[in-house]
Structure 1
Amino acid sequence: MFSNRLITQSENMVNIIELAERVAPMDSSIFIHGESGVGKGVLAKIIHELSPRKNKSFIQVNCGAIPPNLIESELFGYEPGAFTGANKNGKAGLVEMANGGTLFLDEIGEMPLDIQVKILHLVQEKTFTRVGGIKEKQVDIRILSATNRNLKEMIEEKTFRQDLFYRLHVVPIHIPPLRERKKDILLLIERFLNKFNKKYSQAITLDESSKLFLQLHDWPGNIRELENLVEQIVVTSYKSIVSIEDLPFQFNNEGKQPLVKVLGIMPIKKAVEETERQILSYALAKYKTTRKIAKALDVNQTTIMRKLHKYQFANSDYV
């Protein structure tokens, strides 16, 4: 399924895209949950582009990237002479820049408590006051938020306001990590190969065994990690077709003995079978059951059973 810049074959992601498309035309607040690197910013931009505000500004604010002493003036702007070093003409903040469009508060769990009070007022009243000012300004904005933190724990720890959480949390959307979307890995690999081959005027591809191996990886950095890996492969590979032994060392058993060993020149069919056998051996040691192996490799459990028997791994204990 394609939705602008987001592609997927995973059922859980298809449901998320359908929900996003359904609520995008509304003006309600949307809160996007998910680990770092899963694509929260991409989904927020898609929601904006599917909304009536699509021709207005989409302003993304990384709340964790702005120093605490600057975040108020960056968000709300300031009046002339508000503080030492301030522009003599004052300055509009990101909230004003988003007027008529969408304000996306990324990593909102990093926002200081004193600023959370002002954000709550903005959400409720759609008004704000510049730093050093006394006059409230009205804005017409839609607010999207995202975090990779557990805000309910932060509420209990008194580091995030409960009233703000409920104001922002009208429509919650949870993006699953890449390890729960194995079907998307090959789609993303192809997309990133096309992107970076074009960018760097290369023609690098991955062979089937290396693609299969990358599906085994848990991808703790999610899509961002996968994208970085593909770019690394494209810019560093000296071969046009990349095999498992050519992958960066961290994908070869963390720099130890390679997961798959090249046994010399042999017919392609035999080489593929040998690669399959070694990958299955590794997967069996890691996942223990055929059900978990099938999920990790994104194939039918019957296929795994057949291949284990073919390579003489068959055992009545594998379920």
Structure 2
Amino acid sequence: MGEVLHTASNVASVISTVLILGESGVGKEVVAKLIHKLSKRNDKALISINCGAIPENLIESELFGYETGAFTGAQRKGKAGLIELAHEGTLFLDEVGELPLNLQVKLLRVIQEKKLMRLGGLSETEVDVRIIAATNKNLFKMVQEGKFRSDLYYRLNVVPIEIPPLRKRRADIIPLCYYFIEKYNRKYRCNKELTPEVEDIFKRYSWPGNVRELENVIERLVVTTQMDEIDEKNLPLFFIEDNQSVYERVKLEGIIPLKEAFEALERKLIERAYKKYKNTYEMAEALGVNQSTVVRKIHKYIKSNALKHD
């Protein structure tokens, strides 16, 4: 992420087109806003549009605007599109891979010629916009499949910035947790904090929804946990039921060593029994093993782990 932010800050001072790549929820719009904020255009508008959220029959008029009488229901005086509203500022095109092919041609002309024509218009309007695009799709593959114009792809891909998913930057997880806890503590006037056990669970979890999922989970925990301390019992079930690091390897690789899978399950059972029962004899009875085995497993999975943390 340090390299991502370094690249973003360097490219902010020029007007080169930027293509931000990454899975849904990694923070592509946050990086786009950072680039605009650090640019010489920061006193002008940053106009954002999600190309996948607007119906195909409306996106042309939203982007390029329209003249009087361009279509049924059009305003009498016409309307400027989002590209015109971003004049001298920045236009952020999120999910640009969803842009229809016929509009890709018009966008290419805006990038190349700095001109656009409104829907139903007879003359072109000059526009000065800095374009930042983002996608969670493989645009190069879409070009090969004929689903995205190659000339537009190369115009957008001047400075690519790839944001890695949260599972590949695990060092960010806990700092982000506390950033969002502070945010929602202020918003809801709370004083919540995470236990070390919850931190460990969060660090092992794969976060398929990335930073957006993490923020949603933190907000949910802040508003639903009655005590100031958020512990394991407050977490949604899917955090507790799976040893996510092993689960993810099974999903990605198909097969992992049985010993590794067995130890993950054994560790989880020992940890739960250790918290639930008062002594090792009760633990042994519940787990169906002798007491000496329980003592050995506690030392292996719990005490040795505590010593590592110390």
Query: TM-score category by the smaller chain?
Result: 0.7 to 0.9
Q: Would you say 1:187 and 2:175 are equivalent positions?
A: yes
Q: What is the match of residue 9 of structure 2?
A: 21
Distance in 1 (alpha carbons) for counterparts of 2:113 and 2:48: 21
* Partner AA of 1:106 in structure 2: D
User: What's the secondary structure of 2:212's corresponding residue?
Assistant: helix
Q: Would you say 1:228 and 2:216 are equivalent positions?
A: yes
Distance in 1 (alpha carbons) for counterparts of 2:195 and 2:306: 24
Q: After TM superposition, list the pairs within 5 Å mapping 1:1-319 onto structure 2.
A: 13-253=1-241, 260-261=271-272, 262-264=275-277, 307=304
User: What's the secondary structure of 1:25's corresponding residue?
Assistant: coil
Q: Specify which structure has the higher proportion of helix.
A: 2
User: What's the secondary structure of 2:57's corresponding residue?
Assistant: coil
| Percent pairwise identity | 49
Distance in 2 (alpha carbons) for counterparts of 1:206 and 1:172: 36
* Partner AA of 1:54 in structure 2: N
Report the CA distance between 1:244 and its aligned residue. 1.5
User: What's the secondary structure of 2:119's corresponding residue?
Assistant: coil
Distance in 1 (alpha carbons) for counterparts of 2:51 and 2:301: 45
Distance in 1 (alpha carbons) for counterparts of 2:301 and 2:97: 42
CA deviation profile, 1:250-306 (whole Å, cap 9, x unmatched): 211169x9875232579xxxxxxx9xx88x969xxxxxxxxxxxxxxxxxxxxxxx9
* Partner AA of 1:59 in structure 2: I
Q: Which moved more, 1:204-213 or 1:38-47?
A: 204-213
Distance in 2 (alpha carbons) for counterparts of 1:197 and 1:148: 31
Number of aligned residue pairs: give it: 265
Report the CA distance between 1:139 and its aligned residue. 0.7
User: What's the secondary structure of 2:125's corresponding residue?
Assistant: strand
Distance in 1 (alpha carbons) for counterparts of 2:185 and 2:148: 44
In 2 relative to 1, CA 232–254 (structure 1 residues): closer, same or farther, beyond 3 Å? farther
Q: What is the match of residue 8 of structure 1?
A: none
Structure 1: which 5+ runs fail to align? 1-12, 267-273, 283-305, 312-319
* Partner AA of 1:187 in structure 2: P
In the superposition, the TM-score normalised over structure 1's length comes to 0.78
User: Which 4+ runs in 1 deviate beyond 3 A?
Assistant: 257-260, 306-311
In 2 relative to 1, CA 135–143 (structure 1 residues): closer, same or farther, beyond 3 Å? same
* Partner AA of 2:60 in structure 1: E
Report the CA distance between 1:191 and its aligned residue. 0.5
CA deviation profile, 1:11-49 (whole Å, cap 9, x unmatched): xx1011111111110010010000000000000000001
Distance in 1 (alpha carbons) for counterparts of 2:238 and 2:128: 48
* Partner AA of 1:172 in structure 2: P
User: What's the secondary structure of 1:105's corresponding residue?
Assistant: strand
Distance in 2 (alpha carbons) for counterparts of 1:136 and 1:187: 49
Report the CA distance between 1:308 and its aligned residue. 6.3
User: What's the secondary structure of 2:104's corresponding residue?
Assistant: helix
Distance in 1 (alpha carbons) for counterparts of 2:6 and 2:20: 14
Report the CA distance between 1:307 and its aligned residue. 3.6
Q: Who wins on radius of gyration, i.e. which is larger? A: 2
In the superposition, the TM-score normalised over structure 2's length comes to 0.81
In 2 relative to 1, CA 86–309 (structure 1 residues): closer, same or farther, beyond 3 Å? closer
User: What's the secondary structure of 1:60's corresponding residue?
Assistant: strand
Distance in 2 (alpha carbons) for counterparts of 1:308 and 1:239: 27
CA deviation profile, 1:107-160 (whole Å, cap 9, x unmatched): 000111111111111110110000000110001110000000011111111010
User: What's the secondary structure of 2:49's corresponding residue?
Assistant: strand
